[in-house]
Amino acid sequence: MTYDVLIVGSGLAGLATALELAPHCRVAVLAKGGIEHSASHRAQGGIAAALDPQDSVDEHVRDTLAAGGGLCDAEATRRIAADARRAIGWLQDQGVAFSTDAPAQAALHLTREGGHTRRRIVHAADATGRAVVAALGERTRRHPNITLLQQHYAIDVILAGPAHCQGLRVLDARHDRLLTLAAPHVVLATGGAGQVYAHTTTPPTATGDGIAMAWRAGCRVANLEFMQFHPTSLYHPQGDAFLISEAVRGEGGLLRLPDGTRFMPAHDARAELAPRDVVARAIDTEIKRHGLDCVYLDITHRPRDFLQEHFPNIYARCLALGIDMATDPIPVVPAAHYTCGGVVADTAGRTDLPGLYAVGETACTGLHGANRLASNSLLECVVTGHAAAQAILALPAAAPAATPAHAPDIRVNDTPHPTLAHDRQALRQLMRDEVGIVRSDASLARAAQHLAQRSADITRRWQAGHISPDLLELRNLLQVATLIVHAAAARRESRGAHFNQDWPATLPNARPSIMQDRASQAAAA
């Protein structure tokens, strides 16, 4: 159970890192479910890249900085945007078939999304993530140097000495056993924490595991108050929070009230193509103002064959629920979608802890600032995943990792605990009600009090020594929810995806919210 590199997470960031490393070293990829159980697999829109002759990296950077509310790191943003062309070429080399322009099919088709001033979204119809993960997943499964460990839950990072990563404690849910995996390098690619909210587009596995693990290991986290809500998730009694891609608005979709009134021009000059935080707040405002369950996304002015060609999966999903998007406006509401903050890391994934890396949505590289620009996330996954792999390979060859001798006194509990599902849902409803699109000092205080009580209870259960996948995820959800609330309460302004009605103004100087667990640091020392 000793490897050169352990990668936690099998979304695009994890797979890109693994495939870049695999020709040179032995890699294990841990996945709580299958490869298809990631947020990357669900991604619809595409990958931002300045490929059009009329576009440029400079314009891509400007759009990213504008959407980020002044909190983007300009150097990191430029580094990632400048690598977009190479990233797209690499994905094509892996077998990803992106949509092309008809009739010659000679060039990639580029669409446009909110916040972009140009068409620069490379996509595979409206299921880009599925196409990308399928291609990379197949190569991952076939590579002799990659071991795919499915239904394996990372518990915590193992520290060697005062400050170095030595491996992972892992729960093998297939065989109800605890494992110690040793490696000199660990890459956290666990995605975000959308499951802290009751209504989310993220998969059930998005429980903030990597962020919580890094925090407990003493790493800094930043900007966790900026949870991006996607403005348009499907609202239907028989449907889950299925994402209606931003590309629908990019191709002319309009947001309307039930009586047909278009409302976005009254909220922002960019109307439906304003950044996501602006559109989500506008929808939230209209829903509350008029006492609505939802608003409607109308693209019925587009021909049916256009919709079927450009949005085949959305079209089919809506039709299965009795909504014909060629004739019926689509009922939509905002849903928690993307964690803009995360573990503080550079664009090569390096964290505060030597040997520990964070890539993709788990990390806070400075690219997204206070509000992620559409389709920059998959780009970040490829660029930072490759950079992390290269950073690892550039280091002197590490000695084989020694398996840590001491294991904590914990045991696997394979009997479902009847209250854990209820506790998880109660947490998600609390965050939806008190720490949603619009917050207040009072709502954040209420959330902090409830979270402290629930965290104490879960800590007692954890210390009792009987762990399970449900308890492990709830522990991480509570940890990240608490960090989100503390970061939100400390920000005395409204910026990007964070809006506090008690502090509606935006301060002239943008500062990231950086936190560190001093207790963990002291223990490590």
Cβ neighbours, 10 Å, residue 464? 12
Residue 276 a catalytic site member: yes
Whole-angstrom Cα distance, residue 265 to residue 255? 10
Cβ neighbours, 10 Å, residue 42? 19
- Taking phi over 0 as left and psi of -120 to 50 as alpha, with beta for the rest, 359 belongs to beta
Position 379: which residue type? L
**Any residues with CB less than 8 A from the CB of 61 and at least 6 apart, and which?**
74, 77, 78, 81
Whole-angstrom Cα distance, residue 393 to residue 187? 13
The phi, psi pair for 285, rounded to 5°, reads -60, -45
Whole-angstrom Cα distance, residue 448 to residue 361? 24
Which is the catalytic residue, given 112, 216, 276, 350?
Answer: 276
Query: What Rg, from alpha-carbon coordinates, does the chain have?
Result: 22
Position 98: which residue type? F
Question: DSSP string spanning 129-143?
Answer: HHHHHHHHHHHHHH-
* Cα–Cα nearest to 286, from 271, 266, 305: 266
Burial level of 268, CB count in 10 A (0-12/13-18/19+)?
middle
* Cα–Cα nearest to 278, from 231, 333, 337: 231
Burial level of 147, CB count in 10 A (0-12/13-18/19+)?
middle
Active-site annotation, residues: 276
